Structure 1
Amino acid sequence: MADGKQDARSVRKQAIRRKAQRRHSHFYERCAHWSFNGQGEGTPIHWHRERWILAATGLLITLLSGFLIPAWATAMKPVAVEPVEHTLLPLALPKIVAPTLKAPAVEDWRVVQVRPGQTLSDIFQSQGLSLTDLQTVVDNAGDAKAALHHIHPGQEFDFLIGRNGNLEGIRFDKDEATRAIIRLDSNAPSVATVVRAVETREQVAHGVIEDSLFAAANKAGLSNAMVIKLADLFKYDVDFVQDLRVGDSFTVIYDNVYRDGAYLHEGDIVAAEFVNQGHRYTAYRFKRADGSDGWFSEDGRPIQKSFLRIPVDFTRISSPFSAARMHPILGLMRAHKGVDYAAPTGTPIHAAGDGVIKYRAWMNGYGNFVIIQHDSHISTAYGHMSRFATERVGQHVHQGDIIGYVGMTGLATGPHLHYEFRVDGVQRNPQTVTLPKPEPLPGAQMAKFESTVVKPQLARLMGIDNNYKLAQAESTKRSDD
């Protein structure tokens, strides 16, 4: 039975061999003499020659590998370079000292702002400095000394104080465009000035009076200080207490001043227009031939008239000019040949125009009384003063100079100014009298004024006014719709 299984295996092996020979017949045809004896299918195949060939081939490969691989590894190995011997010689080099880098010292300046009522000595003492320090600063201030004698609230002083409390430096504004820096931390004190960039930027405001001038101006963005400047320009033509009406309007072009790019303060009015009860008044800033600034109307005449219409800041007219009135003290009907302006006691009284003080003394009924002669025809009189100013008889005064203060001396029931305007010795109503017009600019200046100031600024004023009217009309139309 075992022989039967062996025969079956032999038959299966021979079948596999024959199948391989048929599939790869082209190989066996070329290589049949290596291992096959060419006998019939049933003859066993012998591999003796093939084994010898395979063994020889393996031996040859082994020998070649043993020779080629070491040779290749040797070829790839980098060539060793023999080290070259060097001789070290001493060389003297200059000594290099590394620089010591120090951070720049930051100076600690103390900024002090002047408060109302403070003096420069108060400020120095508040910083622990002595009057000797103040004197040292004044002595070394050079042409900036004037700025130390005239300080004002809001002004700034910067102090550099040493570790021992000694003053090493101070800096302050010499004027709006320059800063003075005084250094005292060296053997010899030094003073330097630094120029600061100052520029002006124009602003425009327009308003219509509905309640008061201040309310309308504030609504238009003007400060109270700018409102006072506006009223001061037109005070010769407009009584801002008695003459204002609802519907009056104003347009103002003014400067704002900036220093080093930051807002500093309001500047002056460049051009302005005021419409009062249908009458239009204008003012334009213009530099005169002598370099001074002035304000002129469109016809080139100075805004500043020869006379102030009202020489005092008053609260109300307590008694107008009248041919007959009942005297409040005497109880008699008599003419009141002036205007009484009620004001608090001590309110300054100003000269209405340039002139010479002709009388300064007590006068019955008028109390403390002053008369100013302006020319051969015109004089002005001021009564009931509480006290006089420093001017004396025969002294020349300018328009706006203070000549006394409001009071109630003489026959008066309350503090007020009795003001008279006299022409050839005859009293005229100060509120209605025709005041002499000032002379216009001379020819060459007039031409420059008209071309460089009036023409461009008038166009701006009219444009602003027209735009406002268009806006109002549009607003009214929308409301009606």
Structure 2
Amino acid sequence: MTRPEQVSGPAQARRERLNALREAALHRPVLARHLSDGFNGRWSRRQWVQASLFATIGMLVLAIVPGFETPLLQKPAMHATRHSMALTLPPLPIARLKGASGDSWQLVRVSRGQTLGSLFEQLDIPASTMHAILDHPGAKASLTRLKPGTELAFDLPVDGQLRTFRYDRDDSHRIELSLNGDQVTEKVIVRPTDTRTVVISGEVGSSLFRSARKLGLTGSNINTLTDDIFKYDIDFNEDVGSRDRFSVVVEQTWREGELIKTGPVLAATFTTGGKLHTGFRFERNGKAEYFTGDGRPLKKSFIRMPIPYARLTSSFGTRRHPVLGRVRMHKGVDYGASTGTPIMAAGDARVASVGWQGGYGRAVVLDHGRGYTTLYGHMSRFGKIRQGQRIPQGTVIGYVGSTGLATGPHLHYEFRVNGVHRNPLSITMPPPEPLSGVALAQFRAQTSVALARIQEVENIIYADAGPIPAKLEAKKASGKPRRQKA
């Protein structure tokens, strides 16, 4: 019998090859062998990553497989039987069937700087159509001076030819102009309006303008409070605090639930520093003015400085003339300002003269009545005034210059009483004429109603401040802004 160690030749070579393959298989990097190689009771980072990967794959398989399985188990849905019914619809209007106006309106709001011509050009409407509209009686007066925000309506069908044009003639009348060839037909639509007298009351807060606007007052109303009624008694830059309050009576016009206009201030009160100031609107000799509760005008007869924010460069009295070099009486005061600064009339007056007056250069003399006159000299040019014209206080009568005997641009201002020169900085200005007689009686009847409404509203708004005396002068400032209908 042959012994194994004696095998030689091809058999020996085959045995060695099998042993080599067995050794290679034993050293192959199997996953289980790899995970267990060198395991010392703690997993390495690579082992944690591999385990997490396999766990994630397993969870995804468990989540996805039931989703594919559910539709296979469900039965197909049964579709419900549908029935149709024929319903009779209301017939279209004949005007709509014929393509009449009303089915293609385009509303346009006028922007700042826009004109009627630019709007027609923007909508590709021929200029001849616009001229046909303007030639219609009454249209030109309403359409040639369009204010920003004005609403216009154009009935433009698919063919692009304007059929009807619509605009508001006033607050309560709307005009529709229908175009048929060269013929223009007018239709007037009455739009009822409702005018209400309301009392708007509130606190100044961080800004008088912001608070008043939020309550519904217009910019013009606020300017009336600060520039016409209370400017002589209240310094709105220094005297007014956040807890000070105001009440204003105005008329508001409403149309179809929309506020379209707020009228002028009829009455106003302003409480600052515990002191009450009042102002009431009343027409005297056809001119609207504001008066105190006892009928005295709030507007002073004269403005001491005809130039706002000017600097005093020469006082009233004896001085050496800067041009002539001689000591002589300076019969007025000088205000230095840059050339072109507007000069205002110190009070209501009649223009006595406009022209060149020797050393005064270009000068204006105003006659204020009751023996009071004022002179304004060294102007660079005059305002739009003429001799004999009556002008109100604050009218621009000219502009600062250096004409005549002057070393630089300034205003020479003189104040005369019965021809005698007086110092405009120290003289006691004459008080304005109060109301009297029938005018005073009418004023009291008119203002008593406004006072009662303001007091009624403020008793509601400022109830937390305690009882308010019958006289408004004793009211204290507190409470929250509110608006009440009068």
TM-score when scaled to structure 1?
0.61
Q: Cα distance, 1:353 vs. partner?
A: 0.8
Contact in 2 for aligned 1:360/1:371 (Cα 8 Å): no
2:362 equivalent to 1:374? no
Residue 146 of structure 2 is matched in structure 1 by: 151
Structure 1: how far apart are the matches of 2:429 and 2:338? 25
Q: Give the structure with higher Rg (CA).
A: 1
Contact in 2 for aligned 1:343/1:417 (Cα 8 Å): no
Contact in 2 for aligned 1:359/1:372 (Cα 8 Å): no
Contact in 2 for aligned 1:271/1:283 (Cα 8 Å): yes
Q: Sort the Cα spacing of 1:222 and 1:187 in 2 relative to 1 into closer, same or farther, 3 A.
A: closer
Q: Cα distance, 1:440 vs. partner?
A: 0.7
* Counterpart selection for 1:195 from 176, 190, 195: 190
Structure 2: how far apart are the matches of 1:389 and 1:217? 35
Contact in 2 for aligned 1:321/1:429 (Cα 8 Å): no
Structure 2: how far apart are the matches of 1:431 and 1:209? 37
Contact in 2 for aligned 1:372/1:379 (Cα 8 Å): yes
Deviations 1:402-457 (A, max 9, x none): 4234556564756x6554432223133268632342241542x5334323423542
Q: Sort the Cα spacing of 1:263 and 1:342 in 2 relative to 1 into closer, same or farther, 3 A.
A: farther
Structure 1: how far apart are the matches of 2:91 and 2:236? 74
Residue 177 of structure 1 is matched in structure 2 by: 172
Contact in 1 for aligned 2:167/2:176 (Cα 8 Å): yes
Structure 1: how far apart are the matches of 2:282 and 2:382? 36
Deviations 1:203-256 (A, max 9, x none): 42344598x8657767987564432121232267347478x5255955231434
2:386 equivalent to 1:392? yes
* Counterpart selection for 1:132 from 119, 128, 133: 128
Residue 311 of structure 2 is matched in structure 1 by: 318
Contact in 1 for aligned 2:316/2:333 (Cα 8 Å): no
Secondary structure (helix, strand or coil) at the match of 1:174 reads strand
Deviations 1:166-223 (A, max 9, x none): 332222221233222222237742223323224335242344598x865776798756
Residue 168 of structure 1 is matched in structure 2 by: 163
TM-score when scaled to structure 2?
0.60
* Counterpart selection for 2:451 from 433, 457, 480: 457
Structure 1: how far apart are the matches of 2:346 and 2:208? 26
Q: What number of residue pairs does the alignment pair up?
A: 368
Q: Whose RCO is larger (CA < 8 A, sep 6+)?
A: 2
2:269 equivalent to 1:273? yes
Give matches, 1:378-457, under 5 Å.
378-406=372-400, 411=406, 418-425=412-419, 426-429=421-424, 433-443=428-438, 445-457=439-451
Residue 83 of structure 1 is matched in structure 2 by: none
2:273 equivalent to 1:282? no
Structure 2: how far apart are the matches of 1:473 and 1:307? 32
Q: RMSD over aligned Cα, in angstroms?
A: 4.5
2:266 equivalent to 1:298? no
Q: Which runs of 5+ in 1 are unaligned?
A: 1-98, 476-481
Q: Cα distance, 1:373 vs. partner?
A: 1.6
2:415 maps to a residue whose letter is F
Structure 1: how far apart are the matches of 2:277 and 2:211? 18
Contact in 2 for aligned 1:340/1:417 (Cα 8 Å): yes
Q: Sort the Cα spacing of 1:220 and 1:306 in 2 relative to 1 into closer, same or farther, 3 A.
A: same
Deviations 1:278-299 (A, max 9, x none): 8754211346696x75533212
Secondary structure (helix, strand or coil) at the match of 1:437 reads coil
1:319 maps to a residue whose letter is L
Secondary structure (helix, strand or coil) at the match of 1:229 reads helix
Q: Which runs of 5+ in 2 are unaligned?
A: 1-89, 97-101, 467-475, 480-486
Q: Provide the identity percentage.
A: 28
* Counterpart selection for 2:118 from 114, 119, 122: 122
Q: Cα distance, 1:104 vs. partner?
A: 5.3
Contact in 1 for aligned 2:345/2:392 (Cα 8 Å): no
